């Protein structure tokens, strides 16, 4: 992996307990109050097909206790199985992102309503102690029609490394 770009400006705020620390979002900045932190969930919307709005959701979790992506994925998969009644894990596999970074892919099947059967694909990535969970949901039909291109999009995910102050 190449060294971090010295000119890189992180999209998320630097950790600070000082009131008024500057938060940098996608297209804005904001002075944060003491004790506030970024818990942004990124939602990218796609087409409405087969009765559902397709999207890709990216969750970012900082300061995790995991040393490897496998343990992070295991914890996330266990939590999802406990939250979603009738959820079945159909696939769990080690994959690589387009940039070569290791990741874990999981595919689930479940019924959010009595009449709607969905498939959910998740990609888990861990960089230092920051976890990224990418999620896309499909119907049986759209898993076949949209699924391959959405999976390619998810595997193109490339987290940027943030330099630490000691570098």
With contact defined as beta carbons under 8 Å apart, do 118 and 108 qualify?
no
The reported pLDDT for the residue numbered 161 is: 65
- Statement to judge: residues 33 and 45 lie in one domain: no
- Statement to judge: residues 124 and 46 lie in one domain: yes
**Distance between CA atoms of residues 147 and 126, nearest Å:** 23
Q: Domain range for residue 31? A: 10-38
- Statement to judge: residues 65 and 112 lie in one domain: yes
pLDDT under 70 in the chain at which residues? Answer: 1-20, 161-167
Tell me, yes or no, whether 140 lies in a domain: yes
Tell me, yes or no, whether 5 lies in a domain: no
- Statement to judge: residues 104 and 72 lie in one domain: yes
To which H or E segment does residue 150 belong?
Answer: helix 147-155
Q: How many domains does the chain have?
A: 2
Tell me, yes or no, whether 165 lies in a domain: no
pLDDT digits (tens, 9 = 90+) for 37-75: 888 899 999 999 988 899 999 999 999 999 999 999 999
User: Is the entire prediction scored with pTM above 0.85?
Assistant: no
- Statement to judge: residues 95 and 114 lie in one domain: yes
Q: Could you tell me the two tokens for 59?
A: 């969750």
Tell me, yes or no, whether 161 lies in a domain: no
């Amino acid at each position: 992996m190449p060294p971090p770009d010295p000119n890189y400006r992180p999209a998320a705020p630097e950790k600070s307990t000082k009131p008024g620390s500057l938060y940098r979002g996608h297209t804005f900045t904001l002075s944060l109050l003491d004790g506030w932190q970024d818990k942004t969930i990124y939602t990218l919307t796609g087409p409405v097909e087969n009765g559902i709005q397709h999207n890709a959701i990216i969750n970012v979790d900082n300061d995790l206790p995991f040393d490897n992506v496998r343990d992070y994925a295991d914890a996330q998969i266990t939590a999802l199985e406990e939250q979603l009644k009738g959820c079945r894990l159909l696939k769990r596999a080690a994959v690589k992102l387009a940039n070569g970074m290791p990741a874990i892919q999981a595919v689930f099947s479940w019924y959010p309503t009595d009449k709607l059967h969905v498939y959910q694909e998740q990609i888990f990535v861990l960089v230092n102690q920051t976890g990224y969970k990418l999620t896309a949901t499909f119907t049986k039909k759209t898993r076949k029609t949209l699924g391959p291109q959405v999976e390619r999009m998810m595997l193109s995910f490339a987290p940027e490394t943030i330099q630490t102050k000691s570098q």
